[in-house]
Amino acid sequence: MACLRMQSCFFFILTLCFWASNCVEFNDIFEPSWATDHVMYEGELLKLKLDNVSGAGFASKATYLFGKTGAQIKLVPGDSAGTVTAFYMSSEGTLHDEFDFEFLGNASGEPYIVQTNIYSNGTGNREQRIYLWFDPTADFHTYSFLWNHNQVVFFVDSVPIRVFPNNERLGVPYPKKQPMKVSSSIWNADNWATQGGRLKINWSHSPFISTYKSFDIDANESGVNAESGGVNENGSKWWDMPSYSKLSPLQRRMLRWVHRNYIIYDYCNDSTRFPTSPPECAGLRF
């Protein structure tokens, strides 16, 4: 069975990871959100399957407000055209907040696209698209979100690929009130995902399987020691320490490297779609 270690770094922070001795079940933290029979456990691995019957998804049982959440994922190998695997955090309702990684599959040997998006107070339309600097189907890589009062950062391994700073001073709503679930899913998106929807899923190559090895959640879980305010020994939370309030100089260099070499699309740069540039695009983005 998939197995997680639960380690209380401070009394309210949970760090969860596979491969350890002191174990709780994957099922204690997550649950299938649809198509239970397409969510498969194999040893330490968890697999989500898309076939001509269904896609699949899972979500955390708890919700989290601020912290870091991530997963090690190996994406659908070979011909993945028309498939999308997503790893995301989301709250509920029409005025919801959401952070998305969407991995857009491709024909065998052609590159995946990683599309990211951010919703705040129900408004999204903030897509960015990049290529990766490695083959995401060859090995596991960590995809994660860092989230605090000052910024949301999307990481691929230790490389920040996107930052959404708190731009409330520019009138941009910032996600800071709505706890979110951590979720993942795979589905048929061949009407848009691959080469603009021209490449369809070839069902003779199904099932399409994305594989998860571990999860890392070090975040403020709703309802856990709520009366304590969730403070650590210093009366604060690690993600609100100054060192996490903005990117380090090294992280800024890495983000610029991604933007120079791997970005394909940036909504901030799309004047056809946004004749008036969205306000946060005027702020410092990297």
Ligand X SMILES: *[C@@H]1O[C@H](CO)[C@@H](O)[C@H](O)[C@H]1NC(C)=O
Q: Which residues bind ligand X (CB under 6 A)?
A: 52, 65-66, 95, 104, 106, 110-111, 113, 121, 173, 179, 193-195, 202, 204-205, 220, 222, 230, 232-234, 237-238, 263, 265-266, 269
SS3 readout for 254-280: HHHHHHHHCEEEEHHHCCCCCCCCCHH
- Reference 100, options 84, 114, 87; nearest CA is 87
Q: Is 127 a catalytic residue?
A: no
Q: Which is nearer to ligand X, 10 or 140 (CB)?
A: 10
Q: Is 31 a catalytic residue?
A: no
206: which 2 tokens? 């199904």
Q: Which is nearer to ligand X, 32 or 173 (CB)?
A: 173
| Least distance between ligand X and beta carbon 32 (Å) | 21
| Least distance between ligand X and beta carbon 107 (Å) | 6
| Least distance between ligand X and beta carbon 118 (Å) | 14
Q: Which is nearer to ligand X, 150 or 222 (CB)?
A: 222
Q: Indicate the Cα dihedral angle 152, 156, 161, 165, nearest 10°.
A: 10
CB contact set of 8 (below 8 Å; sequence gap of 6+): 14
272: which 2 tokens? 């056809």
Q: Which is nearer to ligand X, 23 or 77 (CB)?
A: 77
| Least distance between ligand X and beta carbon 163 (Å) | 15
| Least distance between ligand X and beta carbon 2 (Å) | 27
Q: Is the dihedral of CA 159, 161, 163, 164 positive or negative?
A: negative
Inter-residue contact 72 to 214 (CB < 8 Å)? yes
Q: Which is nearer to ligand X, 32 or 111 (CB)?
A: 111
Active-site pick, 25, 42, 44, 98? 98
- Reference 148, options 163, 159, 158; nearest CA is 163
Active-site pick, 31, 42, 102, 168? 102
CB contact set of 201 (below 8 Å; sequence gap of 6+): 81, 82, 83, 188, 190, 208
63: which 2 tokens? 């919700």
- Residues with catalytic annotation? 98, 102
